[in-house]
Structure 1
Amino acid sequence: MKALVLENIHPAAVDILESRGYEVDARPGALSEGELIASLDGVNLLGIRSNTTVTARVLAEARGLEAIGCFCIGTNQVDLGAAAQQGIGVFNAPYSNTRSVVELVIGEIIALARRLPEKIQRMHDGVWDKSARGSHEVRGRTLGIVGYGNIGTQLSNVAEALGMSVVFYDKADRPAHGNARRTHSLAELLAVADVVSLHIDGRPGNAGFFGAKEFAAMKPRSLFINASRGMVVDYDSLRDHVLSGHIAGAAVDVFPVEPKAQGDPFDSVLRGLDNVILTPHVGGSTQEAQQEIGWFVAEKLARFALEGSTALSVNLPPVLPPALTPGHRLGFLHHNVPGVLAELNAVFAAAGDNLIDQHLSTTGGLGYVVTDASEPLSTEAVEQLRRSEHCLWVRTW
């Protein structure tokens, strides 16, 4: 059994996979489409972060690939539909780096409000500038959070502890935390927020979500932060509004195009602007977060490959069977049409197999059932299921 892990994934992931019997090839950088195809020969599990793109072509060529672990929050770098149709499970870490991102954003809010980037640079240039001009406390200011998911809600809690008022906007119906107040439109939020922080996902429909119109609608001398996805913001417009003074400062951790490897050159229209913080996509890059992500995603990969669990998969029906104990298990991924479960059970009944536990889940066009038996399942029954017109794959443990 082989696993390929890329982009400096934490050693905790390697340790877990090796302890489960996998030979792990760990590499520091991302791979191009062609490089990835060439490297996946004989690989069962693939681990990536945000800079490796897994296209439909890659998936079609990766004959033995069973699962992909995205050791990060986002999964838009993987063609999830193509992976699902080939029965390749995709897993991520939706919660593990939440605190790290929140702490970075809080630090940036304070740094921008105090205009620390300029103060720091002038000190390095040998200039003593002790002026309080443009420097403010964050207490009493209003933070507008766009996207009120795991990160947005925890940011809301921490910001309130600092004395900030919080408003938020989310298309989903999410409950407010603490004293946070929901706004019913993005325009309503922009009209009252002293700081706007984006925490939305990278789905294609969010491309260009925040541009010239939205920057113009922000309060004069407000602050802007993007720690979500680079493609959701028009950075040329942000540059224009920083240079005009309408936006007093900005912090950006994500970019539409990012260097693939450590030390590669980086460029942006935001370079060189006063009171603008640029960081190299490090929102979740703390040792604590990376260790937690490494453990979390590697465990999900191992449990899927070795026990059939699809819990927290982002593209397959979620089934969380009990831990595999002495006995026999079959996983059956199939097209979601009426009568499949009845067909499966009829096949086992005809073979005289004694089933002791069964778990079924369906999502969209797919269904997944995990069946446990007290004795080895008959080879004839398993092969009959494999030949079913509804079958994507059958695996036994």
Structure 2
Amino acid sequence: MTEARGGSYSLKALKPFNAGEIKVLLLENINQSAVDILTKQGYQVEHYKEALPESVLIEKIRDVQAIGIRSKTKLTSRVLSEARKLLAIGCFCIGTNQVDLETAASRGIVVFNSPFSNSRSVAELIIAEIVILSRKLGDRNMEMHKGIWNKVSSNCREIRGKTLGIVGYGHIGSQLSVLAEAMGMKVCFHDILSLMPLGTARQVDSLHELLASADFITIHVPETPETKTMMGDKEFECMKKGSYFINASRGSVVQIPALVRALKRGQLAGAALDVYPKEPAKNGETFTSDLGDWVDELRECENVLMTPHIGGSTEEAQKMIGIEVGNAVVRYINYGTSVGAVNLPEVDLRAIEATQKIARLLFVHHNVPGVLKEINEILAAHNVEKQYSDSHGEIAYLMADIADVDEGDIRNIYELVSACKENISTRIVY
């Protein structure tokens, strides 16, 4: 394997792909499933339980082809500018806010994450919270820890026959729908897309219609300009009196002071929050107003569950995330497959068979007119078995399998393609 980045790096000695030369840095105690996948490939894997200070991270990142992180490591433009050999970033979590995606793309560095591997874990947490809220188990538990015996049934109810309203019917929302129906609940949902309901769930046309008809409302939407602060005073006022509100999606979608007001005036009978607009950077930190100016008022409200962003924090979810992101990194490094990338076009070609004498060109470039013509002119004298190109904003990515080429041909193709004015990153795997 050989590579070039915008002509800023000298041409290495051209040689076949050697997995043993690939160095991977894994931080923040990434699950062993990922370590096993990467080690099995023959990569050199360096694994740390914690995030690294920026100065140490910069020193380490200069010499690795891949890095795996969770949410605490910040891959800023400053850090990425030192990443001389980096090909792939694996975010072993849902979000990618901790990575400067634009800078990564401009350097031809692909970023992968795992947006759906924890879907079941989150869905199960919501079911648990529905039961806990309807029986006021959180308050009873705290009372018992204080030595108070308070056996009551007033306003404690079964969830059977109650209506669950789901905002966002994606991977988590649809799984939750099935679990809720199995518990005897009725399910309705609202989504910006027209979707096929599972079971007997039904889609409603508007958010306000959903809020007015459900006993429990749970939010499962991404953070977008449309979803930020989507739940405020007006929306909570639309909810049924005595209903419950749950958010395990993004902290920014809820105006928490408005939620506090709805709880205090009795509009809502309880709430559960697993995410917050601002969250502590590490475990063990005490929080007061750092979480928000409203935190003390929220703590004083009855029947409110507060958890520290643990929706996907199960052994099973972390294992699946390790498998999904680990395999995505391997496919990109070994074969150039970018399916699942969040900052580069998703491009793939069928696998190269071991018996085939094929060289695979992997070319990340600026998305401007004329580049494909230039590349195809370079490849015109060769047998291109398959080729695929796609673009993502200002970045484009081309894969081409070239048959019956020797090392002289490969070197010539590499030098000509990497000299292209719009080149960001050129690799040839063979």
| TM norm structure 1 | 0.92
Question: What is aligned with 1:373?
Answer: 402
Quick check: 2:359–2:410 contact (8 Å CA) kept in 1?
no
Residue 340 of structure 1, aligned match among 356, 360, 371 = 371
Matches of residues 373-392 of structure 1 in structure 2 within 5 Å? 373-374=402-403, 375-376=405-406, 377-392=409-424
Question: What is aligned with 1:323?
Answer: 351
Distance 1:35 1:191, change over 3 A: farther
User: Residues 75-131 of structure 1, C-alpha deviation per residue, up to 9 Å, x if partnerless?
Assistant: 233333332222111111122111111001111011101111012122222222221
CA RMSD of aligned residues (A): 2.2
Of 87-96 and 42-51, more deviation after overlay is shown by 42-51
User: Residues 327-348 of structure 1, C-alpha deviation per residue, up to 9 Å, x if partnerless?
Assistant: 3211111233444334323212
Question: What is aligned with 1:28?
Answer: 49
Distance of 1:84 and 1:206 partners within structure 2: 26
Structure 1 residue 248 and structure 2 residue 280: aligned? no
Residue 223 of structure 2, aligned match among 183, 188, 202 = 202
| Structure 1 stretches lacking a partner, 5+ long | none
Alpha-carbon offset, residue 30 of structure 1: 4.1
Question: What is aligned with 1:120?
Answer: 141
| Structure 2 stretches lacking a partner, 5+ long | 1-21
Residue 360 of structure 1, aligned match among 373, 382, 389 = 389
Alpha-carbon offset, residue 363 of structure 1: 3.0
Give the match's secondary structure for 2:401.
strand
Question: What is aligned with 2:164?
Answer: 143
Quick check: 1:76–1:203 contact (8 Å CA) kept in 2?
no
Matches of residues 157-176 of structure 1 in structure 2 within 5 Å? 157-176=178-197
Question: What is aligned with 1:275?
Answer: 303
Distance of 1:166 and 1:312 partners within structure 2: 31
User: Residues 315-358 of structure 1, C-alpha deviation per residue, up to 9 Å, x if partnerless?
Assistant: 211122223433321111123344433432321234xx333232
Of 38-47 and 24-33, more deviation after overlay is shown by 24-33
Question: What is aligned with 1:86?
Answer: 107
Quick check: 1:329–1:373 contact (8 Å CA) kept in 2?
yes
Give the match's secondary structure for 1:314.
coil
Alpha-carbon offset, residue 31 of structure 1: 5.3
Of 28-37 and 166-175, more deviation after overlay is shown by 28-37
Question: What is aligned with 1:292?
Answer: 320
Quick check: 1:30–1:260 contact (8 Å CA) kept in 2?
no
Matches of residues 29-44 of structure 1 in structure 2 within 5 Å? 29-30=50-51, 36-44=57-65
Distance of 1:265 and 1:38 partners within structure 2: 31
Distance of 2:50 and 2:299 partners within structure 1: 24
Distance of 1:34 and 1:197 partners within structure 2: 41
| AA at the equivalent of 1:274 | E
Matches of residues 298-309 of structure 1 in structure 2 within 5 Å? 298-309=326-337
Q: How many residues align?
A: 395
- Identify the structure with bigger relative contact order (alpha carbons < 8 Å, sequence gap 6+): 2
Alpha-carbon offset, residue 272 of structure 1: 4.6
Of 145-154 and 332-341, more deviation after overlay is shown by 332-341
Quick check: 1:208–1:233 contact (8 Å CA) kept in 2?
yes
Alpha-carbon offset, residue 49 of structure 1: 2.1
| TM norm structure 2 | 0.85
Of 124-133 and 192-201, more deviation after overlay is shown by 124-133
Distance of 1:317 and 1:46 partners within structure 2: 20
Quick check: 1:74–1:202 contact (8 Å CA) kept in 2?
no
